[in-house]
Structure 1
């Protein structure tokens, strides 16, 4: 049931969570060898199985979000609302080192999946819960998603837009994947504490907490009475040298120049030495006051040459910039492959040969080669057998729709 050769070989995880953030945390554990059982409702399974069909996502015959977030796992289709499911849950919890849930507090109570109940079954259990808005307060039971609890509630959606344009929808999963890494670190912290004390623990995080952490520099400013600028216009930024510019072939690049020497270097590389004359752009204060005029001048200069020209010029002059890549470029980015950010699949398909690895690496330790994500209930009978159920009992569970087996 598990890989015996990696960092978390022997670690047993039950993933009761749905969608992205909770399951992605157990994916990271699986990347380092943990055995992960994903528990899903019979019939429909995790709703995330259908997410790739959403109109907002890139179109593919391959269920790529499911593969990304649920690789390496085994699927048990279990009706948690069934009275007979309680015994199965008990055996899973006694077997497990880690349990991950993301139901709102009131739902987990109804399903018998609270920390208080499960920790009685296994005193060494690391119980990891993820919520949208935290486990306390008036919104504790409110469902939360990446877009609402992380992106909108934290203020990120307000400031990551141009001027007074409407707030922009992010790529799905930005906050979820960041939160998954945090939940993973909480689980590992709990495991380390268990090594020291012999006892399990309840670890938790939320999308709203991760959103606040992501935007913490400005939130901290607000807590200290700082004057908040709010959203900026690209045409009149606080710093014209921390801004995006369009090239003659319609591409964009981002300048990130924060020191006076960077300004001199840029002007020299772009052959704009007249900008050093006069008082307007001599220092950071002047460049901030006259940022609109400076943007106009730089816009004109950038529009005279294509992206490749500016890349060659800036690389030679060591000007700090970033190309605003499109997804078609990202999937061919040599740096991604050289650093094992994009890695080969163990079982390539007609459409996919690689996947995105989790962002944590241990130097000198190979991760598990990403295996296929499971079909709904693909391993139900095998898991039930390994939990000690007889063939007769498994047949009854299947007949009564307590458990579903993929055919």
Structure 2
């Protein structure tokens, strides 16, 4: 089994999406992740999701998505006794992850300086909206706020429709992936130098790196992206979105070779021989007429028929699908992109959770057990710290642990 992080201990104080997704990826790669949660409440996402039975059990689908394979330890960080327990756990850890607003970890006594004093080789990762430095650092934000801040909304949609948000919380998940990359890299640096490393991962930075080419073009030339709708960034008239009788078809025939294969697939050698369309530059100059030809052609078959035909001719194309249609494709089943797990209770539920986003030796890497109930591992983790049963009982009675 693929476990490059086996033996790595992660203390996870993060909540909701970006931080928990980062530590979920670490757990899939073999790390022991100890998730610290508030007694009686837990991660906010435990209550979220369309299956109300699971949400009522604090095992909501919003939580299930990115928390399998972690230990759940319920500790009140605002109590002196609880904070001391967390410090004991940190002293023996390799990685510390938090996604509080900047300054909150310091106020708790768990900032980088304090944590480094406890553990001189700790890898300390902070995940926040705008980072730990800069004028915006104190501001809170969520995915949709960062989408508004980073500029993506003014490139999405149309000029007539106005700025449009990306439908999924992609900035959160991308930030989690970015943080996981930073942590794996940071672990190598700690081992190389023998000293602690502080990581500062920001949602805004991540969102902008997802638009790296747009940043470079703007800062280097002054070019400003306009709303692009469903069109390709290449602006090629033989790329972008095309109407069919039953929905949109996305197409990319940017270069001469792709354009030639497209014309052969369409059975329109005459277009290929037309001197107006001989090169990509000439096709751009005569875009309205070429686009009109293609628009008429694509109205003659369904999107699925065009997709299959163009695939045979090695022309990049896909009909526009809904998430339900995409996940029903046998291709994704073959890739093992999710794993079905059973959550038992008064009513059993089959829950599909994500695998790693890449295959290893041809195999999908998926969690082996469902997320843990709130506080399910508190006693075991405290016992490992040599805290005796009577003391654990006292802490529980005082609501320091759960």
What is the TM-score with the length of structure 1 in the denominator? 0.88
Displacement after TM superposition at 1:88 (Å): 1.0
Match of 1:291 in 2: 287
Match of 1:140 in 2: 137
1:47 aligns with 2:50: no
Which of 126, 151, 154 is 1:158 aligned to? 154
Which of 397, 400, 403 is 2:401 aligned to? 403
Structure 2 distance, partners of 1:165, 1:31, is 41
Call closer, same or farther: CA 1:184–1:360 in 2, change over 3 Å.
farther
**Structure 1, gaps ≥5 residues long:** 56-60
Call closer, same or farther: CA 1:105–1:229 in 2, change over 3 Å.
closer
Structure 2 distance, partners of 1:186, 1:314, is 40
> Contact conserved, 2:2 with 2:360, CA < 8 A, in 1?
no
Which of 97, 114, 117 is 1:117 aligned to? 114
Q: How far does the alpha carbon of each residue in 1:243-296 deviate from its partner, in whole angstroms, 9 at most, with x for none?
A: 01232223x221112202222221221133443465543332343344344334
Structure 2 distance, partners of 1:54, 1:296, is 47
Cα RMSD, aligned residues only? 2.7
> Contact conserved, 1:33 with 1:367, CA < 8 A, in 2?
no
Structure 1 distance, partners of 2:229, 2:168, is 24
Which of 80, 89, 92 is 2:89 aligned to? 92
Select between 13-22 and 373-382 the one with higher mean Cα deviation: 373-382
> Contact conserved, 2:354 with 2:366, CA < 8 A, in 1?
no
| Structure 2 counterpart SS, 1:223 | helix
Structure 2 distance, partners of 1:399, 1:30, is 31
What does 1:5-404 correspond to in 2, within 5 Å?
6-53=3-50, 63-149=60-146, 151-234=147-230, 238-250=235-247, 252-276=248-272, 280-345=276-341, 350-352=348-350, 354-363=352-361, 367=365, 369-404=367-402
> Contact conserved, 1:154 with 1:215, CA < 8 A, in 2?
no
Displacement after TM superposition at 1:347 (Å): 6.3
**Structure 2, gaps ≥5 residues long:** 53-57
> Contact conserved, 1:236 with 1:291, CA < 8 A, in 2?
no
Structure 1 distance, partners of 2:211, 2:252, is 19
> Contact conserved, 1:344 with 1:370, CA < 8 A, in 2?
no
- Corresponding residue pairs, total: 394
Match of 2:55 in 1: none
What is the TM-score with the length of structure 2 in the denominator? 0.89
